[in-house]
Amino acid sequence: MPRTKSSKISDKEKLFRQRLHEAMQEFIHQHGIPKERFAEVMRDAILDVLVRSEKNEALKRAYSVIVNADTADIQILRRRVIVPDEEVEDERWQIPLSAALEKDPQATPGEDFYEEIELVSLNRNQIDQLKARLKQQLRDLERRALYERYIHMVGEIITGEVLKTTRDELIVLHEGNELSLPRTELIPKDEYIPKDSALAFRRGRNTSSIVKAVVHQVLDPKKAPASRPIVILSRTAPAFLEALLKLEIPEIYDGIISIKKVVRIPGERAKVLVESYDDRIDPVGACVGVKGTRIRPVVEELRGEYIDIIPYNPDVKLMISRALAPATVMYVDLYPHRRYAKVFVAPEEYARAVGREGINVRLAQELLDYELDIREASEYGEEEDIELSEFADEIPEAILKTLQREGFQTAQAVLQFPIDELQKRTQIDLPTLQRVYEILQAEFEE
């Protein structure tokens, strides 16, 4: 049977184990790392140091390391084969019989001899190597635990405290973890400063140390630089606006209203495409709230960013008209195979359709994935269009309101659609729609 050297644990060894146990428990508790995984890292680090000192990777088979994370009991055993003194060829794998008998009177050639190595017996160089190895291993373990915790939180909002700032980023402390909020992911009007900094004291209430952001990206710790945080936050990503709306609007949180797409120019304007799965619920009204009570907190968090809520409709022409709000569209020439559309507006509406520095049309294009060519109505080669409201004497008010609610503001906007499609969309009976078409067409014939 195998022979083992027994030794009495010294006071020095007891003190060492006590301190090690305290350090291990603190690390495990602070970072939420499974004890079994922690023990595995400790075992691998000790094995690496022992083998490195021998400069022979194959020697790992000669060592056994047992780590108990609950008690900090670490046992290192070195296995060698007992051989007669004259037959010793390599003492790394073999132990002379005479040496084995000194430690165990019953030692017999051919048996395995297990010798216990105390951690405190390691030389200074080995201890330094062990510390460096453990530090690196534990850092890797910590980053892996961070990855596993936050990878499922991508798209969720977190609230943290700005710990420090650099030229490129803010380091945000969230539940004891350091996360990165790059300055490129800040809204232009954002200003966050650590609360204990001298600058925060001078600026007073104009700044804040508490920041709300969305978990934008979680990097693979194996590929990310060791010195960089792996959790990246954002306040400019469309996901941030989407998460804010989910927090403020119960119908979105409950799935009654779905957000189909969000596009934004941070701090300036955003367009949100929504769809209601309940015909009784108006998605725009539900998102905006009475007198803007629901959307206002979102706008304030986004530093005054104007938000257009746009109800989804399968009709592309109608969607283009809605996406270019607040401008009023007269008519649209659609080229679906090219994902291109000519959009005609009244001359006084052109600036609103395009928006300051092209913001409005850019966002509409991104929202619908269509190239929109905004033109003044005079370029269409037709006579001037007429607002539907001008036909109030000939068309019932309820019919006009139904058409306007569906995005038809002008006579040309109605006439460009086939009557059967318009009937399906508005649910107006066919004879009434035929009469509406006759009235509108007669005006242009005159």
Convert the pLDDT of each residue in 214-243 to its tens digit.
999 999 888 887 778 899 999 999 999 999
What is the average per-residue pLDDT within 83-89?
85
Of 122, 137, 104, which is closest to residue 13 (Cα–Cα)? 122
What is the average per-residue pLDDT within 10-22?
67
Residue 26: CB partners within 8 Å, gap ≥ 6?
none
Question: For the whole model, what pTM was predicted?
Answer: 0.67
Give me the residue label for tokens 């304030």. 300
In this structure, of 73-87, 197-211, 380-394, the range with the lowest mean pLDDT score is: 197-211
- In tens, the pLDDT along 405-434 reads 877 788 877 887 777 778 877 888 888 998
Average pLDDT, the chain: 83
Pair 268, 275: CB distance under 8 Å: no
pLDDT at 446 over 60: no
Q: What's the topology of domain 3-140? A: N Utilization Substance Protein A; Chain:P; domain 4 (3.30.1480)
Q: How far is CA 7 from the centre of its chain?
A: 54
Higher confidence at residue 403 or residue 407?
Answer: 403
Q: Helix 35-54 to helix 11-31 angle, to the nearest 10 degrees? A: 130
| Spans of all domains in the chain | 3-140, 154-235, 239-380, 388-445
Pair 150, 231: CB distance under 8 Å: yes
Q: Which CATH number fits domain 239-380: 1.10.1060.10, 3.30.300.20, 3.40.190.10, 2.30.130.30?
A: 3.30.300.20
- In tens, the pLDDT along 136-193 reads 777 887 888 889 899 999 999 999 999 999 999 999 999 888 999 999 999 998 988 8
CA gap 445, 392 in Å, rounded: 19
The SS3 assignment for 427 reads: coil
Quick one: pLDDT at residue 6?
A: 44
pLDDT at 7 over 50: no
Higher confidence at residue 5 or residue 273?
Answer: 273
Which residues does residue 171 pair with via DSSP β-bridges, in sequence order?
A: 164, 180
Higher confidence at residue 105 or residue 58?
Answer: 105
In the numeric block, which tokens belong to residue 18?
């006590």
Helix, strand, coil percentages (3-state) for the chain, rounded to 5, are 45, 25, 30
Which residues does residue 233 pair with via DSSP β-bridges, in sequence order?
A: 215
How would CATH label the architecture of 154-235? Beta Barrel (2.40)
